[in-house]
A and B are shown apart, each in its own frame.
Chain A
């Protein structure tokens, strides 16, 4: 039997969570590339730095989600399996 998301509620939740986090990280990496291109094209102008600050808030908020995922899903998942 395959271990896809249709197999059990755990795997449904697991793939949903990992997929959602992957989408967010992908968006963040695209945003990061955009910021690098803007710094390259326009220099460290004040308005570009402000955009970079907004990006930094997004990225570190995503980091907080990651702390929850590796603690709750991976470590506690291993402990209670």
Chain B
């Protein structure tokens, strides 16, 4: 059983908004659905454009050759930002502080796992004695 009136329709833009258990959430503004549809449409266009740019970048002459990898990385990070803002509804509002903190915590953990693995495996490789007495340094 829910105490929320059914006519309060939103597709998720108010993720993380705070209200006490049993209390009504704040009433959404007029034209909330229209605004949300606009947001999703903008996000879809940006994501499609960034994906197309990333897939076109290896074949283009418009980017300095050795810089293409960095361009792909930047396009990917930009698309992650688009997803976070338009689809996962991360905002800077006070209601969203917990979500932002959870994202930061997740980034810290993933960074430790990824860079810790690379660091540890590099040293494993460095110290490994191969048959014939060579170390793993000779790739």
Interface residues, chain A, with chain B CB atoms under 8 Å away: 44-47, 49, 53, 56-57, 60-61, 63-64, 67-68, 70-72, 75-76, 78-80
- Counting chain B CB atoms within 10 Å of each CB, the highest count among A44, A45, A49, A78 belongs to A49
Number of interface residues of B (CB under 8 A): 26
Q: Are A75 and B12 closer than 8 Å at their CB atoms?
A: no
The answer to whether B72 and A63 have CB atoms under 8 Å apart is: no
In the complex, per-residue mask of B54-83: 1 if CB is within 8 Å of any chain A CB, else 0? 110110000000001100110110011001
* Contacts across chains A and B counted by CB atoms under 8 Å: 59
B contacts with A: majority SS: helix
Nearest CB on A from B34, distance (A) = 17
Assuming the contacts A47-B2, A64-B80, A67-B79, asked whether A76 and B87 have C-beta atoms less than 8 A apart, the reply is no
Contact status A57-B80, CB under 8 Å: no
Please state if B57 and A63 are interface contacts (CB–CB under 8 Å). no
Indicate if B15 sits at the interface (CB-CB under 8 A): yes
